[in-house]
Amino acid sequence: MVRVCMTVIVLGCAAAAPVFAGDAAAGKAKAVVCSACHGVDGNSTNPIWPKLAGQHAAYLAKQIRAFRSGERKDATMAPMVNLLKEDDIDDVAAYYASQKQK
């Protein structure tokens, strides 16, 4: 009985997990502008710029959208993210999420 219940719980959690549709390969090319500060692979060498490598894609996409909408304010980030379309954001987020943090 316990095994069956655990299976249902695990499968239920997997079904509830959001599916992220970004394309990491496409995101690599779209992240060229980002790499000036965050590093080619998302591992910034400057402590004032965060490392993006290995962050969750949905989190990265949410933050990029927050910068673009003005919900998060940063004079450097705003013009960078304003160039990104919706699909671009998902692709860039998927790319950095696929990288290993160093």
Q: CA dist 67 to 6, 17, 75, Å? A: 40, 25, 10
How far is residue 72 CA from its own chain's centroid? 16
| CATH classification for the domain delimited by 22-97, as one of 1.10.760.10, 3.40.50.2300, 3.40.50.720, 3.40.350.10 | 1.10.760.10
Residue with the bigger pLDDT between 102 and 7: it is 102
DSSP 31-98: THHHHHHH-TTS--SSTTS---TT--HHHHHHHHHHHHHTSS--TTHHHHHTT--HHHHHHHHHHHHT
Q: Supply 29's token pair.
A: 């090319």
Residue carrying the six token digits 């590093």: 39
Which pLDDT belongs to residue 21? 84
pLDDT digits (tens, 9 = 90+) for 15-69: 455 567 899 999 999 999 999 999 999 999 999 999 999 999 999 999 999 999 9
Rounded CA separation 57/49 (Å): 18
pTM for the structure as a whole:
0.80
